[in-house]
Amino acid sequence: MASEGLFKDGVAVCGGKFTLKVSRDRLEAVVEPSGSGGGSIKDVDPEAFRAELRAAGVVFGLLDRPQARNDGSYCVAQGTPGINGENARVKAYVKPGVAHLEQVKDVSRDKVDFHELHSIVNVPKDKLLIEKVPLTEGTPGRAVTGEELGVKPGKDITLKAGPGITLSDDGSKGVAAVEGKFVLVDGKPAVMVEHTVNGDVDYTVGNIVFAGQRLTISGTVQPGFKVKCKGDISIGQGIQYSAEVIAGGNVEIKGGVIGREIVIKSWANVKAVFLENVGRVEVKGDLTVTESMVQVHAMVGGNIRILGGSGVLAGGHYVAGGSVFVKELGSTDEVETEISVGVNPLLEEKKEKLYAEKGLWSDRMGELIRNTTGLKALQKEKGKDFPPEQAELLKKYNTMLPQAAERVSQLSEAEEALLAEIEQAANESIYVYGTLHPGAKITIGGVTRVLNTQEQGVVIHFDKEGRQIRCRSMSPTERQAVA
């Protein structure tokens, strides 16, 4: 064990020519020439010198040769400092986005999308979001006198998570329990399934792409901005001009929609107060309008209903897989209003794909028949001289031909079923509870008719026997049903 003198006045070595001292942190040992009779370090025998240092208690980190210092002393040993442990910390695999408008220098405005602020960070379900990196105990050091130098271990933490995040059993990892936006709530990471915009969607908000269940906008969607949500969208005031709204669920617009370049798409149902001069509305479910719909181009998988307020449907082009229910159809100036009912866009798209696939397989089967017939004829002609490679090819064609024929048969059956489903859709009708004005162009069951007379309280339907579009008076039961 090192003597206490090493840390105070030092210990004489080399016959008193030098004084050996150890720093208070025990990480360095130095020798200083004695005040009287001090010698040169060059005259010291290295092996004997190191042996004397060890005998004095300096046993670790001895240098091969002393290193001169500015104060005239020499460093003869260096210890190893300890490394304190690191605190446990949280590693984030996804970081919340920050809403800001980047200032781009030397770039013209038309080359920068100032609508994109990237303010929402969407994450899928089961996405690993956070993980606790454990504390470390630290690495002990060693003094020049040989003792181990203690260190402080890091501090531990408890991983905390807000709603929408599930922690692993050991509390070390946090994954998204739902699909939505990754945010910090009261300092805790969370995944929220709802997002709210208090005001308009404009340059202060930017375009919105939200993977959650519901997006609520209290104001309007301003021109040029795009709003997309995997779930439902609720808009408190309206949509203006060239805006775009796309929802995987329902869309509810508690105001009006005006603008030729507006696009609305919904994989469920759409509700609005009124629509005017809207260029594109695509709805998989029902389209319900409270007051009126004028000069709109709409593709609707279900029914169209306009039964509140004036209940007017006038101008534009409408395709509905279901029926149409309105108070008033057309206008006094006989503006052309085109309506097709019983035309399910999904069925039409399915029919086109089926026809394309059937044509492909029919062509393939025809080619197989021709090739097989030709090879069989050649085999009969050549007999034993029929080439082996062509015999192998004929075998392959004979295997493929029944498969192609089976696929064509399956597609033909699917075609019959689909056509029957489309034919059944001809049962859909147009219900006009008030005035039917002249100028409506109606298509049902593949038949088109322009109605040139004014009627009151009628049902426009398809007469399957006569294969004609007819108008009949609405029954009391039908009137009562809508009431």
SS (H, E, C) 424-465: HHHHCCEEEEEEECCCEEEEECCEEEEECCCEEEEEEEEECC
Cα within 13 Å of Cα(380), Cβ side: 6
Collapsed DSSP state (helix, strand, coil) of residue 108: coil
pLDDT reported for residue 300: 94
The residues pairing with 325 across neighbouring beta strands, listed in sequence order, are 305, 431
Residue pair 52/12 in contact (Cβ under 8 Å)? The answer is no
Bridge partners of residue 174, in order along the sequence: 130, 167
Counting other chains too, the contacts that 202-205 makes at CB distance below 8 Å and 24 or more residues apart are 203/101, 203/114, 203/115, 205/99, 205/117, 205/119
Q: Is the pLDDT of residue 425 over 80?
A: no
Query: What is the CA 33 to chain-centroid distance, rounded?
Result: 74
Q: Which helix (H) or strand (E) holds 233?
A: strand 232-235
- What spatial distance separates the first Cα and last Cα of the chain, rounded to whole Å? 103
Q: Which two tokens stand for residue 53?
A: 């240092």
Find out whether 328 and 343 touch, Cβ atoms under 8 Å.
Answer: no
pLDDT at residue 424 in the model = 65
Residue in the block written with tokens 């906008």: 217
**β-pair partners for 234:** 216, 252
- Give strand pairing partners of 271: 252, 288
Other CB atoms within 10 A of residue 32 CB: 16
For residue 361, give the H/E element and its range. helix 345-382
Which pairing describes strands 312-320 and 287-300: parallel, antiparallel, or unpaired?
parallel
Q: Work out the number of other CB atoms within 10 angstroms of the CB of residue 207.
A: 19
pLDDT band at 268 (very low <50, low <70, confident <90, very high): very high
The reported pLDDT for the residue numbered 46 is: 86
pLDDT score, position 318: 95
Q: How do 188-192 and 214-217 pair as beta strands?
A: unpaired
Looking at 153-162, 317-326, 370-379, 416-425, which range is the least confident one? Answer: 416-425
**Chain centroid to CA 163:** 19
How big is the chain, counted in residues?
A: 483
Look at residue 103 in the predicted model and tell me its pLDDT.
Answer: 37
pLDDT at 459: 95
Q: Is the pLDDT of residue 405 over 60?
A: yes
Distance from C-alpha of 299 to C-alpha of 306, rounded to nearest angstrom: 15
- Take residue 347 and report the two structure tokens written for it: 């069925």
Rounded average pLDDT over 399-421 = 85
Residue 85 has pLDDT above 90, yes or no: yes
> Residue 303 and residue 89: Cα distance in Å, rounded?
56
> What does the alpha-carbon distance between residue 289 and residue 304 come to, in Å, rounded to a whole number?
8
Amino acid identity of 329? L
